[in-house]
Amino acid sequence: MEFIIADIKPQKITRGDQVHICTQGSSHPIGASRVNGGINFCLYSRSATAVDLLLYNSADDVEPSEVIRLDKRFNKTYHYWHIHVQGLRAGQLYAYRVHGVYNPSRGMRHDPSKALLDPYSHGVAFPAKYDRQRWCEFGVSPGAMMKSVVVDLSAYDWEGDAPLRNSFANTVIYELHVAGFTKNPNSGVAAEKRGTYAGLIEKIPYLIDLGITAVELLPVFQFEPKVDEAGNPNYWGYSPISFFAPHWHYSTEQEPIAAINEFRDMVKAMHRAGIEVILDVVYNHTDEGNAEGPTFCYKGIDNDAYYILDDDMSRYANFSGTGNTLNANFSTVRRMILDSLRFWVTEMHVDGFRFDLASILSRDELGKPIEQPPILWDIESDPYMAGTKLIAEAWDAAGLYQVGSFVGDSWREWNGKFRDHTRRFLKGDSNMLSKFVTRLVGSPDLYSLKNRQPDKSINFVTCHDGFTLNDLVSYNEKHNQDNGEQNSDGTKENHSWNCGIEGPGDDPEIEALRNRQVKNFLTVNVLALGAPMLLMGDEVRRTQLGNNNAYCHDSMLTWFDWSLLQKHGDVHRFLKLLIKTRLKRESSAGRGEMTLGELLKRGLITYHGIKLGAPDWSEESRSIAFTVLSLDGRTAMHYMINVYHEDLCFELPTSHKGHKIAWYRWLDTAADGEDDIRDFGQGPHYRPALYTVANRSIAILKADIVVR
């Protein structure tokens, strides 16, 4: 049945034994909001000629139970269409039908055959069956379709919880996939909780034990768990449908409203454990894809407002590599992004965001880079964002690369140069030593000259996109055949080395070398100046069998294999002690507190080669040593790094200002058993003036200098 609100007087809608009164409503807040005993609906569309509010009884409904036509004389203020329906409650399913011009050559794609999601919806309901292809055809009803859900955000007890606001100096980030972390049957998580927010809660003790202070969750914005033409699922989730709704497929009840509260339960539990929650967010494109893609929301509401279009306005700019690009610096889209961020901070208590392809947010409505992008400064200066961690993937898929120059004072950056130079040096490439050392001491070439602190750098060697750490030392080439793209997808620039054979093998010498290389990478990543980020499972040498683009595998290939914790317990222990030492504060009478990172940042560094004071910076050099002395002259660290294929003997400093230095060995990645790393301060004393560092290994000594 269709109702038209013809004047400003309240109108009655009868639904069974219920009567709902429709009134003019308000242009704010945008979205569906509980107010005055009902729901206020508000939608932005500057190009719509008419808007219908559609109400549904169930997710599988094809036709709405009610259609409420909004009268633009009374239910429209500026470009905002609004109406208040009294008596509706949380859980109500709804959508919009937006009428207007369909002329792709002018950037107009209104299609009243489609029921459209609310861009501000806090929940998205999926029908049991629907045909995605029908969403791509103009004028064709797609049948059962996704629907927005009214959510009561006030119905939750946070029990005093709030974001933690830890400093980056004391942060160790662990990138993980919500489902993949616990989905394996050997996870020890109950079957009904595997792959869910609730399942992740059960693994918090593991994260605490490892020393993790922040988890970075792969996308949890609602996405379509669709399969592509090859039958592959959308595992990573980098294809958002809504910027305000948590992915309900990660909830135990598989239901939109349950997802809100289960996500909150997870955040609250993480905070109680002292662990921050950072979201990997995608504000650069949507799941609607290119001109041949579906229309389920933004295209049908205001296409040329939400997207950057090509000169041929029927086509989409594709700086994201996924078919379309959000028009992030258009005023309405800027507001939506900012409102989304505020929602996740205020209503969901998250601690930070990692912005996927963040350089796209610095492009204007024509796609050209802007020196001072409005949306980035909006985020930077917004009071709701104060103290929130902001991390940029400072590049995009069209070649814009801004590592070291990303705008703003609060932003940190994924340091792609750290990843590449560390990989190449430890692999043994020539002409890499000086670049590697620059990354190790905080990338001053990127940050110091711009009056930025070294902790601007988020240091990582591996992430979800690319090889796992095990595969980085086990494969020379990518092996993505199972992705169905003839191994053409995924980067070819892996800077990997298989240590002698491609893939798994049983040669004990090769296995020992791989294990040593894994520990080398972990040592550099955790101890370098900047905030370290680690990939889920690298601590137990998780493998994807050489697949460096596993976006489409929701299987044992991508899930955490918990049996590896026993198989590679030595690597797990090694990383655990690395993190513990990085975060541990040294303290003694008369000495201020100082972490290893602070020692590297504020201490005095002297570089050496195998001879003291004689570093070899030549193109073919593959070794370096350096001593870091605290400003008070009482603590010294001596690093020796040898990526040469033969053992090297390094001279050690034996005194400082007339005071004898008594070294003890803290770490040696080539040592056997538990001698590879000790609790800080408990390693064996080392008295000789020379130290032999095995080929392709790292050794670190520590000394407390007693000044008498």
Q: What is the set of active-site residues? A: 356, 393
Token pair listed for 491: 């980067």
Token pair listed for 464: 């979800």
> What DSSP assignment string belongs to 555-589?
STTTS--TTHHHHTHHHHHHHHHHHHHHHPPEEET
Phi, psi of 606 (to 5 degrees): -120, 125
Sheet holding 66-70, edge to edge: 2-4, 66-70, 50-56, 93-99, 147-149, 124-125
Helix locations, 127-255, DSSP H: 197-202, 204-210
Beta strands 66-70 and 76-77 are unpaired
d(CA 530, CA 598): 10
Nearest to 491 by CA among 505, 471, 511: 471
d(CA 22, CA 38): 9
Q: Are 282 and 551 in contact (CB under 8 A)?
A: no
Alpha-carbon distances, residue 382 vs 46, 330, 332, 376, 377 (angstroms): 26, 17, 16, 10, 8
Asked if residue 29 has a cis previous peptide bond (ω within 30° of 0), the answer is: yes
* Amino acid of residue 523: T
d(CA 50, CA 638): 72
* Nearest-10 crossing angle of helices 298-306, 331-346: 120
What's the sign of the alpha-carbon dihedral 317, 319, 324, 327?
Answer: negative
Phi, psi of 20 (to 5 degrees): -110, 130
Token pair listed for 618: 């030549």
Q: Is 259 exposed, middle or buried (0-12, 13-18, 19+ CB in 10 A)?
A: buried
- Residues whose CB is less than 8 angstroms from the CB of residue 265 and which lie 6 or more positions away in sequence, other chains included: 197, 198, 201
Residue tagged 């020539």 (tokens):
430
With vertex at residue 608, the alpha carbon angle to CA 605 and CA 614, rounded to the nearest 5 degrees, is 125
DSSP 8-state code for residue 30 = S
Look at residue 430 and give its three-state secondary structure. Answer: coil
- Residues whose CB is less than 8 angstroms from the CB of residue 62 and which lie 6 or more positions away in sequence, other chains included: 141, 143, 144, 145
> Which DSSP helix (H) or strand (E) runs through 605?
strand 604-608
Residue tagged 């633009």 (tokens):
72
DSSP 8-state code for residue 540 = G
What's the sign of the alpha-carbon dihedral 233, 238, 240, 243?
Answer: positive
Beta strands 531-535 and 457-459 are parallel
- Residues whose CB is less than 8 angstroms from the CB of residue 682 and which lie 6 or more positions away in sequence, other chains included: none
d(CA 452, CA 574): 32
